[in-house]
Structure 1
Amino acid sequence: MSIYQVLLLILVLFLAMTSNVELSDRQCTSSCGDIHNIRYPFRLRSDPKRCGDSKYKLTCEDNHTVLHFRDGRYYVQSINYSTHQIRLIDNGLQKDNCSSLPSHSRASWALYNSKIFYDPNNPYYMARGGLLIIVNFSKPVSSLLYIATAPCIEGSNSFNTSSNWNLYALINPKALDVKDFCTISRWTWVSIDFGDKEQINSSSYNYERIHNIMADGFDPTFFCFFDFYSIYKGHQGCRSFLYTGGKHRLTMKFYRNFA
């Protein structure tokens, strides 16, 4: 058999396998609430086991598509299969209620610092975006870096019984920005990449604007494509790009075929 015949045979097998995968993909399409066309690599918990990838499992709760990721619960707002992005909103946030807060607590802050988005087993990554935290202070702070949450949120009505506590928002904080006399209360990712040049302080951002940014959600990226070798071996190949230190690091993964 000549090399051309071998290549032709490989091409025919490749097209046949990808056609079967596409057919299975269409048969596994689901919907929940406003999210239609839930398909590979995603799957609903109620879908047949052959559908989707278990690492991208979603649930349908009270007509909301929900992603449970580590210790968080997020509402899925959209899935873009062209850009490989899923828009998520912390389930504690409400768009028209500036007193609503992210559900991520101080306890989960340590998990964030462990760089869960850099975990090789994590199927999502944040290529761009920022971080917003809500902090409690035992006394007022005059620094422009701290954006007061009042009148949307009063410390005495949220985390503490004492009115001596003061709540502030911090954008993309550094370790030195979190002072000794404060505690981290809530935090969330946001889709806006504030950058280094923009002046992020209370003179340009009030808390209502900050809350709207949080309530708009964030866009982690999933990246899944067919890898010829893995298809040849009877698997479907997914690869996750992990974002570290301003550079993209590629981690190759092979997952079992859903068929």
Structure 2
Amino acid sequence: MHLSETPFAEQNKQCVPSSCGHIHDISYPFRLKSDPKHCGHENYELSCEGNHTILDGDESNYHIVQAINYDNSTIHLVDPDIREKVVCSLPKPLRSAYSSLLNRFTTWRRRYLPSPSHVRSVPISLVETITVFSCPFPINSPDIVEITSCLNRSYASSGLFRGHRYATMAELSPSDLKVGCSVDLMSMTSWHNYDANANSSILSLHKALAYGFELSWFQNVYCDKCPRHTGRNSYQSCEGENSRNVRCVEISYGCDYYNFRFFKTPDCCKNIPYVMLEFKTLLAILQCKS
């Protein structure tokens, strides 16, 4: 089922795109605060401050918009606390900021397969998780970098923190943390030059943080029209990349979910990378502990 004639498509024709700084063509689902309320969606309202396009205009909880890609329904965000020329700059531990983002965006998007298949598109992850944690003892690992020296001198010498602080872009589950270690903050990156097999360094960590991350609004904005269930052995999946090709596709329950990262596709018997849920899972655990 194609959803070409939809309210958001019709609404977009009636609104003139806005611009702020280098971000042009701000249109549905986004709108500026100065735009008419019938344009865009209230959950995707942006503000224009000092020639910067801002998502979540709260003074202590916001991200700067680097780009909006309407072809694949992604937005590129950067943390304002990460300064490009300051290698030791780290994001604030604002867990609520990411909770708000992940209620409106996904950390994955769909990409079409080049050849005909029962699976018309596959989900690909947009982000890697960056975890900053502290331990009372030293850790020696090629994919973990010590950033204790990046702590503010007054904070480090005040006695409030004793031990070692580390950062990693490798996958990290709660079970990986040894007794006495605790997670301080989590962030995301879509830095394309990230190499999970290379030794981590403070410079590579900074480049990843400074690049920022990309999120997708496709699933949250365009897929409400697809019914969740159509029968005992099938359900409806929403596929596409942008507002021009939203489709509801019936999927058989022959698809067996194995875990968070892989699933088997019907009839093709190939494992395809699935949605990365580690960030949201760890974030929920951190909120429960706080």
The structural deviation recorded for 1:193 is: 7.8
Answering whether residue 174 of structure 2 is matched by residue 175 of structure 1, we say yes
How big is the shift at 1:55? 1.6
SS state at 1:220 partner: strand
Structure 1 residue 47: Cα displacement? 1.5
Over 3 Å counting, the alpha-carbon distance change for 1:158 and 1:188 in structure 2 is: farther
1:23 is the counterpart of 2:18: no
1:96 aligns with 2:85: yes
What is the TM-score when the length of structure 2 is the normalising length?
A: 0.59
Once superposed, what is the RMSD of the aligned Cα atoms?
4.1
Partner SS, residue 214 of structure 2 = coil
Tell whether the 8 Å contact from 2:128 to 2:190 is kept in structure 1 after alignment: yes
Instruction: Flag the structure with larger Rg.
Output: 1
User: Is 1:87 paired with 2:76?
Assistant: yes
Q: Which of 64, 68, 81 is the aligned partner of 1:75?
A: 64
Structure 1: distance between partners of 2:213 and 2:85: 17
Partner-residue secondary structure (3-state), 2:85: coil
Q: Deviations over 1:22-74 (max 9, x none)?
A: 4313x2x2122221211111011221111101121112223211112999421
TM-score normalised by L of structure 1: 0.66
Q: For the Cα contact (< 8 Å) 1:72–1:104, is it kept in 2?
A: no
SS of the residue 2:133 aligns to: strand
The one-letter code matched in structure 2 to 1:78 is A
Question: In the alignment, what sits opposite 2:215?
Answer: 220
> Gaps spanning 5+ residues in structure 1: where?
1-13, 230-235, 249-259
In 2, the alpha carbon distance for the partners of 1:227 and 1:93 equals: 35
Q: Which runs of 4+ in 1 moved over 6 A?
A: 226-229
Compared CA separation, residues 192 and 206, structure 1 to 2 (3 A): same
The structural deviation recorded for 1:245 is: 2.6
Q: Look up the match of 1:138.
A: 136
The number of aligned residues is 211
Q: Percent identity?
A: 25
Aligned partner of 2:105 among 124, 148, 156: 124
